Amino acid sequence: MQRVCFLLRVRPELVDEYRRRHAEVWPEMRAALSATGWHNYSIFVADDGQVIGYVETDDFEGALSGMAATEVNARWQRQMAPFFEGIGGAAPDTAMRPVPEAFHLD
C-alpha cells in the first residue's frame, strides 16, 4: 500500500467555499474514488490556502489514471480548477505533486 501526501494551493479568498464544496462531495464522485483505488483519502486546508492531501492506494498513478477516465472526475475538476493558484489552467488532479515520505511509524 502506498501512502501519498501531496500539496496544492487554493486562492485564500476561496478557502471557505472550497471547504464547503468538499463537505458536499457528490456521491458519484465518492463512489468513483473508491472504485479506482483511493482509500483513507483526506484533504486538509489551511486558512492561507495551503492544501495538504493524503491517500492510501495500491498504485497512485493507476488511481489517478482511473479517475481521469471517469466523466464525474472531469466535471469535478472543471468546477474546482478556478479555486487553485499556480496550476496554469491544468486540472487540479494533474497538478498534484507527491511529497516524499521521510518517516512513518508503523
Q: Specify if 105 maps to a domain.
A: no
- Of 22, 30, 39, 78, the catalytic one is 22
Range of the domain at 42: 2-99
Q: For the domain that residue 6 is a member of, what is the CATH number?
A: 3.30.70.100
Asked if 32 contacts 70 with a C-beta cutoff of 8 angstroms, the reply is yes
Q: Specify if 106 maps to a domain.
A: no
- Backbone torsions φ then ψ of 80, nearest 5 degrees: -90, -20
Cell of 18: 472550497
Q: Is 104 a catalytic residue?
A: no
Using CA atoms, how far residue 60 sits from 6, 21, 33, 35, 88, in Å, is: 11, 24, 12, 13, 22
* Number of other residues whose CB lies within 10 A of the CB of residue 50: 14
Q: Specify if 78 maps to a domain.
A: yes
Give pTM, 2 decimals. 0.90
- Residue 10 carries which DSSP code? B
Alpha helical stretches, state H, the chain: 15-23, 27-35, 60-68, 71-80, 92-95
Q: Specify if 22 maps to a domain.
A: yes
The fraction of the chain above a pLDDT of 70, given in percent, is: 100
Q: Specify if 8 maps to a domain.
A: yes
d(CA 14, CA 17): 5
Split at pLDDT 50, 70, 90, the class of 61 is very high
Asked if 2 contacts 40 with a C-beta cutoff of 8 angstroms, the reply is no
Whole-number pLDDT of residue 29: 97
User: In this model, does residue 106 exceed pLDDT 90?
Assistant: no
